[in-house]
Structure 1
Amino acid sequence: DDYSTTIINLMPNDLGVSLISEPLIDDNQPNEEDVVVTIQNYGGTIHENFEVNFSVNGGTPITEVVPGPVGPLESMQYEFDAQAELNDIDDFEIFCFTSLPDDSQSDNDGVTKIIPKFICQPESNCSQGDGIRHLVLEEIDNMTGCGDDGYSAFLDQVASLEQGTTYDMTITTEHGSQYVRAWIDFNDSFSFTGIETVLSSTEIAPGEGPGVWTETLPIEIESDDDLGEHLMRVKTNRDGTVSGNACNGMDFGETEDYKVIIGSVSLLESILGPNDIEVRTLANDQFIFTLDTEVSNDPLIFRVMDTQGRTVVHNWVYPVNGEYTYELDMSYAAGGMYLIRIGDQRAGKITRIAVQ
């Protein structure tokens, strides 16, 4: 009988990283991430005790030895003992690769993955009473303990603030000599800049130690600050002024994030209605956004921004029976977090998505 066979000639030494499965792209990216890769043996030799590496943003590679074995045309998963440090609002490029001596084909040694940080999460120690135990600002009335690694996000708590007005923010801490600073991300750029400072670094209970200390501090909203929903960050530091860099960690202190509405809720609702943006996430990075409002019949601007504050989509969206719907294809875009804004020049509503 006739028969046929296929002969595959394998290189003896051909090893590479084919996939970076972790870090995942998430909207709660920690400062230190596990790195997990898939290693593929493309060659015809069993490999043991070989080197695998990763680097972040072109920095010095971390090298570890993989015991193996991994046989010809087989793959294996490996988790690095070291973690990747992602300590800022940025896009982090993680490059993972093997370094096999006499590798027959070097162009398949490694792969790259972009990991964005939506918003930095400074680390600090608040276990000794440092930080914020009670914060009151208009509708926000939040009593908390020490957040994990000194960071907490309370984005379901919203303060309604008016342009051109100064508000009292009352903070209780359980350790004196506590400096406090606050920012509002008026331009929705994923970062807190110096011009977005609404409370300069101010000390609570100077020279005091453990105890219960409460101070009422002024939050200044300028007459031309942008209307709409924005993130607010409140940050403390013991025994020293709070850095103007909202991402810096502290030895002792805490960081808390909230949401504010500039322009009263009634004003925002009169423009865009009371409902939040609804997001449907479909396969292949397809999204459908819906804003249901019966108070607006005017076209609104649909805008997508990346983690650097750059606009990547800017289109008009028109209402149908009081409902604004926008279908967004992000399959072409780099993986990462993106901020969505629907509104006009008077006010807007925000949400965020993760593109894989």
Structure 2
Amino acid sequence: MWIREVYPGTIPVGEQAIYTFSTRANLSAFGRYRITAETDLEGDAIPENDGTTKSIANLDCVPSGSDCTSFGDGIHSFQLEDIINERIPCIDGYADFIGYSTDLDRSNGTYVVRVKTLFDSEEGDEKFSIWIDFNDNGVFDDVEKLISSQVIPTANVWHSYDLTLPANAPLGEHLMRVRAGDTSFEGDLDDPCSVMEYGSTHDYSVRIIDSSLNIDDFLLNEANLEISNQGNGIFRVFLETDFTETLRITVHDILGQKLIENKVETNGLGYLYEIDMSYAATGVYLLRIGTREVGRVKRFIVE
């Protein structure tokens, strides 16, 4: 597949331009794609720096399709602070529990995670891992993995593990992914997008706080974020808060590609912003609004 279009205007030195393709690319097939932008200036003395290329991938990062019923593989019960999720049903190996949330104070450092499986792993092959998407780009990177391939030794018993937050963990809401399964079969437990033959993947929400926050950061961390679909691809975003400083709003797709980034000012009651997603493909997107240190994050769906 090859799509090539030409920007109709010119770009002055030091300026930026935003261009929306008139032809929509179909990136639904799993794999890697390249997007290249190039300038064309007559008499350019250094043409070597005229282009840039970004590589993106469709990784199918909602890993449905794992078997967690035949032998009871995966997480059957999970607990982290206020998140208590027991007797989790097996729904095609993946379940969205982002409505389950808890606060984690980064100044406390370490928390206890408790998990239970229904599979007795005599060889120590039943393991689990946890990620927190600290940069809110919808991708669970290796550096965001806080528990890696810990063995769940016996079935029907709570097992406890330490989860240690980085001292500089970004404040605000983030997605947390929990994966478990039999690592002796197909699928990579430590690849958050891989479909395991026997296992499960669950997503939750956590909110990183800090008990030493100043009053402005506290106001923003406690703010209520709402996203409403206005129809025709328009979404209205409202963050209700007494915070008054300039905030930044971003939107990423599930591959971590940034689609929107802009500044937004308070209207006295909060921060109101409309985003136009009429050009975007159907799917799940991730919106963040906040400062560099503190922010609120929410998923929304373009239909």
Unaligned runs of 5+ in 1: 1-54, 58-85, 92-115
Give the corresponding residue for 2:80: 137
Mapping for residues 1-356 of structure 1, pairs under 5 Å: 57=29, 119-127=61-69, 128-163=71-106, 165-177=109-121, 178-205=126-153, 211-240=155-184, 243-264=189-210, 270-272=218-220, 274-294=222-242, 296-356=243-303
TM-score scaled to structure 1, two decimals? 0.61
Unaligned runs of 5+ in 2: 1-26, 34-57
Percent identity of equivalent pairs: 32
Displacement, 1:334?
4.5
The whole-number CA distance in structure 1 between the counterparts of 2:72 and 2:212 is 38
The whole-number CA distance in structure 2 between the counterparts of 1:256 and 1:121 is 10
The structure number with the bigger radius of gyration is 1
TM-score scaled to structure 2, two decimals? 0.71
Are the counterparts in 2 of residues 297 and 322 from structure 1 also a CA contact under 8 Å? Answer: no
Letter in 1 for 2:166: E
Displacement, 1:289?
0.7
Change over 3 Å in CA distance of 1:56–1:335 after alignment to 2:
closer
The whole-number CA distance in structure 1 between the counterparts of 2:169 and 2:80 is 18
Are the counterparts in 2 of residues 302 and 341 from structure 1 also a CA contact under 8 Å? Answer: yes
Deviations 1:240-289 (A, max 9, x none): 49532111122222111111111259959713153432122123211111
Are the counterparts in 2 of residues 227 and 262 from structure 1 also a CA contact under 8 Å? Answer: yes
Are the counterparts in 2 of residues 179 and 202 from structure 1 also a CA contact under 8 Å? Answer: yes
Which is strand-richer, 1 or 2?
1
Displacement, 1:203?
0.7
Are the counterparts in 1 of residues 113 and 160 from structure 2 also a CA contact under 8 Å? Answer: yes
Displacement, 1:148?
0.8
Letter in 2 for 1:156: G
Are the counterparts in 2 of residues 185 and 230 from structure 1 also a CA contact under 8 Å? Answer: yes
Change over 3 Å in CA distance of 1:254–1:239 after alignment to 2:
same
Displacement, 1:308?
3.2
Change over 3 Å in CA distance of 1:347–1:273 after alignment to 2:
closer
Letter in 1 for 2:179: K
Are the counterparts in 2 of residues 118 and 190 from structure 1 also a CA contact under 8 Å? Answer: no
Letter in 2 for 1:131: G
Give the corresponding residue for 2:13: none
Displacement, 1:330?
2.5
The whole-number CA distance in structure 2 between the counterparts of 1:233 and 1:56 is 23
Displacement, 1:321?
2.3
Displacement, 1:202?
0.9
Displacement, 1:163?
2.6
Number of residues of Structure 1 aligned to a counterpart in Structure 2: 244
Deviations 1:18-54 (A, max 9, x none): xxxxxxxxxxxxxxxxxxxxxxxxxxxxxxxxxxxxx
Deviations 1:44-92 (A, max 9, x none): xxxxxxxxxxx963xxxxxxxxxxxxxxxxxxxxxxxxxxxx6x9x89x
Are the counterparts in 2 of residues 117 and 307 from structure 1 also a CA contact under 8 Å? Answer: no
Are the counterparts in 2 of residues 179 and 240 from structure 1 also a CA contact under 8 Å? Answer: no
Displacement, 1:118?
8.1
The whole-number CA distance in structure 1 between the counterparts of 2:85 and 2:221 is 26
Change over 3 Å in CA distance of 1:132–1:216 after alignment to 2:
same
Displacement, 1:213?
2.4
> What is the CA RMSD across the aligned residues, in angstroms?
2.9
The whole-number CA distance in structure 1 between the counterparts of 2:28 and 2:257 is 23
Q: Specify the SS of the correspondent of 1:212.
A: coil
Give the corresponding residue for 1:30: none
The whole-number CA distance in structure 2 between the counterparts of 1:348 and 1:281 is 21
Change over 3 Å in CA distance of 1:336–1:117 after alignment to 2:
farther
Q: Specify the SS of the correspondent of 2:138.
A: coil
Displacement, 1:201?
0.4
Change over 3 Å in CA distance of 1:272–1:250 after alignment to 2:
same
The whole-number CA distance in structure 2 between the counterparts of 1:325 and 1:303 is 14
Change over 3 Å in CA distance of 1:228–1:173 after alignment to 2:
same
Deviations 1:153-209 (A, max 9, x none): 11111121133612110111121222111111111122212111100101111xx5x
The whole-number CA distance in structure 2 between the counterparts of 1:239 and 1:323 is 48
Change over 3 Å in CA distance of 1:331–1:117 after alignment to 2:
farther
The whole-number CA distance in structure 2 between the counterparts of 1:117 and 1:292 is 35
Displacement, 1:338?
2.5
Displacement, 1:139?
1.0
